[in-house]
Structure 1
């Protein structure tokens, strides 16, 4: 059973109830002195604590999409490095480990559903290496080398903490892209899927950290250059967009505003509008107050000339703590930047809400991309 499936949650609740019943029944029999009774009571307390906690953790994971499978949770997912074999990293910085096995529309044929490559991208300027998935639509696989330069590219980011697999298994980015093309709602696009946590376990918030990971450089310079070179795509920023949820949404909006020569469109789902600073991030700005302000999107919109980019923000009237800041963001965008929004009546900072926003946001993003 999948880690996010309802049967898994139901089974964990049933086990917890059974352990609770056994504890109630056994406790009087273990109430006396003696090492056996003491160890028995300790064992029951541990069992009830663990089994009561599992349903809660599964429910939180289902809402936020931290892990897409048991393999992700246990760090045992190895299927993507098997099958097609591993190729050495080329001069472009992309190493293809194999293809991700997936089925959609009752087919596994790449000519029908496209192909998902499991890769590692090595940044020439940042020195960062990060795993990613690259979805190549069927139209790309049939295209000539010249025609492949006409495909738009959408970089999709997860939140923090998370794994890259959630973008396929929970957010279903390749599936939404394929559905959009089949329905005529969007044109074929190459998707580059990865987590913003490219210097794990640190949450760098896509910042070039002084004397630390150069995460912004990786996403703005290294990633487009490497992917474009390896797959024969254009590096024209008008053909490149980026989107994500939560921290990934903040990164997406910031990359477009700070690096319009890399991305001309961005979508943030439940995005924050400034970088967090907590034990998971450490000191991101080296004590530089001006650098911190430059990474605050609301401050930036008011004090820095806005570039010619298209932006989308998504939030909910009820259930989203960042809704007031989303309104401020929308009201602060001025020409030549443009802003659109998806505002749900109710929602929250969770996978259920993002599941309603991902498909229309992806279609919006690709519609804003223009290739030579």
Structure 2
């Protein structure tokens, strides 16, 4: 029974309810002063509290997608590497391999030309030597005859830490939302590449190139766009790529757009922070390298580096988000530059959670779409 399965959650909830009822039923019999009665009361209370805690934890994990499996929870992921066939001219080889094909959750119909398609893929970075699974949403237009010769803009979509890539599909509804917005004419057809920034689990690398460690920034700035562009009909001209993320993924999206504006013409951070933390989940990211530490600090980048030619979007809430004041400050810092453009989504209230981000995602997708190339070609 998987960590995110109802087959795990339902028995846990039923067991908690049954034990609570049993505690109430047996309590009068244990209302004595002997050591057996006292031990019985302590045991029942501890067991009931433990099962309630497990049930709430399982429900929260299922709702927010913190951990994908028991191995992920206990830091024992054993995903095997992907064999890459680099035979020239073989589109089935290369750094991207499709492993599963499915429809868009929440939308009836199986014809890709009507509802699009979600493909699960494995991506291997030849430069970073990082392998990561991802989900790719292809819009209906990708399969339609009149668009056969067209290229499409693409956007990377990142979870928070630890997060699960599947949550972007099933919980945050990125493919379904993109499909609806395109049908309503609010955004152009766009390919979405959805994955988590934790490409070297269980370590949180904050999308940095760690000395003698995971080269995460190289993976996202070079390997991933090249792999996707080689496999799918994504535009190769500048302005074809955007990047979106929430929480840790939001920080990564802003940093990658600022560090690599020639790759990412737009970066959207939902509930982001603006400087990489160093804690037990990250380990020593910089190993004494002051330059790497500075580059991970977006405040430092705005003050000391040339303003990048890119567009940024940040979001926060006046009530419920800890980053509200920092976000207003970041907006003012970017506005003071000459070449970086800044937009924002500020809610009256909202938390650091899926419900808040679902309220921001439609406007975010529309914003990113409007800043990427390909509209004239695809819209003909």
Cα RMSD, aligned residues only: 3.0
What is the CA deviation profile of residues 278-312 of structure 1, one whole-angstrom value per residue up to 9, with x for unaligned ones?
Answer: 11100001122332122111221121111110100
Post-superposition shift, 1:73? Answer: 3.7
What is the CA deviation profile of residues 153-197 of structure 1, one whole-angstrom value per residue up to 9, with x for unaligned ones?
Answer: 011001111111000001111001100111000010111000000
Contact 1:298-1:328 at 8 Å conserved across structures = no
* SS of residue paired to 2:282: coil
Q: Which residue of 2 aligns with 1:52?
A: 52
Q: Which residue of 1 aligns with 2:61?
A: 61
CA distance in 1, matches of 2:157, 2:206: 15
CA distance in 1, matches of 2:107, 2:338: 42
Q: Which residue of 2 aligns with 1:29?
A: 29
Q: What is the aligned counterpart of 1:357 among 360, 365, 371?
A: 360
What is the CA deviation profile of residues 118-165 of structure 1, one whole-angstrom value per residue up to 9, with x for unaligned ones?
Answer: 11000010000000011111111225787332x100110011111110
Post-superposition shift, 1:55? Answer: 4.4
Length, aligned pairs only: 354
Say whether 1:347 aligns with 2:350.
yes
* SS of residue paired to 1:206: coil
Equivalent runs, 1:270-309 vs 2, <5 Å: 270-309=271-310
CA distance in 2, matches of 1:138, 1:282: 43
Post-superposition shift, 1:337? Answer: 0.7
TM-score, normalised to structure 1, is 0.86
Q: Which moved more, 1:101-110 or 1:316-325?
A: 101-110
TM-score, normalised to structure 2, is 0.84
Equivalent runs, 1:309-328 vs 2, <5 Å: 309-328=310-329
* SS of residue paired to 1:264: strand
* SS of residue paired to 1:95: strand
Q: Which residue of 2 aligns with 1:83?
A: none
Contact 2:123-2:132 at 8 Å conserved across structures = yes
- Runs of 5+ in structure 2 lacking a partner? 73-81, 87-93
Post-superposition shift, 1:227? Answer: 0.5
Post-superposition shift, 1:56? Answer: 3.2
CA distance in 1, matches of 2:357, 2:325: 18
Contact 1:237-1:262 at 8 Å conserved across structures = yes
* SS of residue paired to 2:302: helix
Give the direction of change, closer, same or farther, for the CA distance of 1:22–1:104 in structure 2 (3 Å limit): closer
Say whether 1:148 aligns with 2:145.
no
CA distance in 1, matches of 2:147, 2:183: 23
Contact 2:239-2:265 at 8 Å conserved across structures = yes
Q: Which residue of 1 aligns with 2:77?
A: none
Q: Which moved more, 1:57-66 or 1:160-169?
A: 57-66
